[in-house]
Amino acid sequence: MENRTSFIDENFLLQSEFAKVLYYDYAKDLPIIDYHNHLPPSEMAKDHVFSTISEAWLAGDHYKWRAMRTLGIDEKYVTGNASDRERFQKWAEAVPYTVRNPLYHWTHLELSRYFGIDELLNAKNAAEVYEKTSARLQENTHSAIGLLQQQNVESLCTTDEPHDNLEHHKSIAEQGISPKVFPAFRPDKAFAIDMGTSYISYLELLGDSENMMIETYADLLDVLGRRMDCFHQHGCRLSDHGLEQLYHFEEGAYDSETIFIRAKNGNVISTEEVHYFKSRILVFLCKNYHQRGWGQQFHLGALRDNNKRLLTSLGPNTGFDSIGDFSQARALSGFLNELDSTDQLAKTIVYNLNPSDNEVCATMMGNFNDGTIRGKMQFGSGWWYLDQKDGMERQMNTLSNMGILSTFVGMLTDSRSFLSFTRHEYFRRILCNLIGKDVRNGELPRDEKLLGKIVADICYHNAKNYFDFNR
Distance of alpha carbon 164 from alpha carbon 183, whole angstroms: 10
Burial 380-415 (b: 16+ CB within 10 A, else e): bbbbbbbbbbebbbebbebbbebbebbbbbbbbbbb
Upper half-sphere CA count for residue 241 (Cβ side, 13 Å): 27
Give the per-residue pLDDT at 251. Answer: 87
Please name which of 87, 94, 80, 85 lies closest in space to residue 123, comparing C-alpha atoms: 94
Please name which of 145, 146, 138, 243 lies closest in space to residue 187, comparing C-alpha atoms: 243
Indicate the pLDDT class of residue 88, thresholds 50, 70 and 90. Answer: very high
In degrees, rounded to 5, the angle at the alpha carbon of residue 157 between the alpha carbons of residues 156 and 160 is 155
Sequence-ordered strand ranges (E) for 354-457: 377-379
Distance of alpha carbon 431 from alpha carbon 16, whole angstroms: 12
Per-residue pLDDT tens for 360-382? 999 999 999 999 999 999 999 99
Which residues, at least 6 apart from 392, have a Cβ–Cβ distance to it below 8 Å? 381, 382, 386, 411, 427, 430, 431
Please name which of 325, 411, 328, 390 lies closest in space to residue 365, comparing C-alpha atoms: 328
Give the per-residue pLDDT at 468. Answer: 78
> What is the DSSP secondary structure assignment for residue 142, as one 8-state letter?
G
Give the per-residue pLDDT at 144. Answer: 98
> What is the DSSP secondary structure assignment for residue 244, as one 8-state letter?
S
Asked if 105 and 147 count as a contact pair (C-beta separation under 8 A), the reply is: no
pTM over 0.85: yes
Per-residue pLDDT tens for 147-179? 999 999 999 999 999 999 999 999 999 999 999
pLDDT at 3 over 60: no
Per-residue pLDDT tens for 317-339? 899 999 999 999 999 999 999 99
3-state helix, strand, coil in the chain (%, to 5): 55, 10, 40
For the chain, the residue count is 471
What residues are paired with 32 via a beta bridge?
153
Query: What does the pLDDT average to over 393-413?
Result: 98
Tell me the CATH number of domain 17-48+152-467, given options 3.20.20.140, 3.30.720.200, 3.90.190.20, 3.30.200.20.
3.20.20.140
Torsion of CA 410, 414, 416, 420, to 10 degrees: -40
Give the per-residue pLDDT at 470. Answer: 63
Per-residue pLDDT tens for 273-286? 999 999 999 999 99
Percent of the chain with pLDDT over 90: 95
Torsion of CA 213, 219, 225, 226, to 10 degrees: -30
Distance of alpha carbon 94 from alpha carbon 71, whole angstroms: 7
Per-residue pLDDT tens for 223-250? 999 999 999 999 999 999 999 999 999 8
> What is the DSSP secondary structure assignment for residue 25, as one 8-state letter?
I
Q: Is the dihedral of CA 406, 408, 409, 411 positive or negative?
A: negative
pLDDT at 221 over 90: yes
pLDDT at 258 over 60: yes
Domain ranges of the chain: 17-48+152-467, 49-142
Which residues, at least 6 apart from 415, have a Cβ–Cβ distance to it below 8 Å? 37, 38, 39, 423
Q: How far is CA 467 from CA 35, 158, 337, 377, in A?
A: 8, 14, 23, 13
What residues are paired with 322 via a beta bridge?
303
Tell me: cis bond preceding 445? Omega within 30 of 0 counts: no
Distance of alpha carbon 340 from alpha carbon 334, whole angstroms: 10
Number of H helices, E strands in the chain: 20, 9
Tell me the CATH number of domain 49-142, given options 1.10.540.10, 1.10.340.30, 2.30.130.40, 1.10.2020.10.
1.10.2020.10
Give the per-residue pLDDT at 58. Answer: 96
Per-residue pLDDT tens for 415-433? 999 999 999 999 999 999 9
**Residue 141: what residue type?**
T
Upper half-sphere CA count for residue 36 (Cβ side, 13 Å): 26
Distance of alpha carbon 371 from alpha carbon 468, whole angstroms: 18
pLDDT at 1 over 80: no
